[in-house]
Structure 1
Amino acid sequence: MLQPHLVQLRRMLIGEAGRFPDLARAWHRAAPERGHATLARAVTRLAERGLLHAPDPLLAAQHLNYLILSVPLDEAMFAVRDRPPSAPALRRYADEAVRVFLAAYGTDVTRPG
């Protein structure tokens, strides 16, 4: 999602969504919605095992996704960076996102602290 060509495509789709709403909706279904649905299935499995408390797995998946991606994606979209963040920086975002996610959705087994 942070590769320059994908960021440019995202910018273009957002910029033209008013003129081409069907195209914007199709992209949203094929990318973000599909990714959230896939992640929601994993959240459901973890909840069934008692590792998460997620009454709404899709919402929990959306939260996790945006906890991980919001800062680096915003930086990419607004051209703060010329290239994607380094692997260590992305791991830091992911690790902190999981920590926050588990604070909200974890159980006694998985909640930090």
Structure 2
Amino acid sequence: MTQFVNLRGKRLAFSAKESSSIPPGASGLIYPKDAGFIITDEQSVERLFIEHDKATGISWFLKVGRRGLRRWFEPTNDETLKAFGLDILDYNASILLAGRIHQQCRKYLSSASGH
């Protein structure tokens, strides 16, 4: 059974490992990579990364681009961020949202591994 994560109007299918197969009814994927989670668009292109700092317990979104990962700290008109509804969030709101999604994905990941 597919588990979903809602991200400001996007319905992301959770996968316990990297995948490019988007199930019906999903508008992208979210899966673990390195110390966080990758978020893809409808074409399975990596667009966002949720990074988590274990020392502080804070999570945040990073934009995946041609020049690597990039943070932003204020509302922006960036097309990727607009597509995911993150363009209008201030720093605190985006950190709260990233934390909630990171926590939900960790829960899904632990249930997928049987822990």
Please classify the TM superposition score into its range, dividing by the shorter chain length: under 0.3
TM-score (norm 1): 0.28
Q: Which has the higher strand share?
A: 2
Bigger Rg over Cα? 1
- Structure of greater relative contact order (alpha carbons < 8 Å, 6+ residues apart): 1
TM-score (norm 2): 0.27
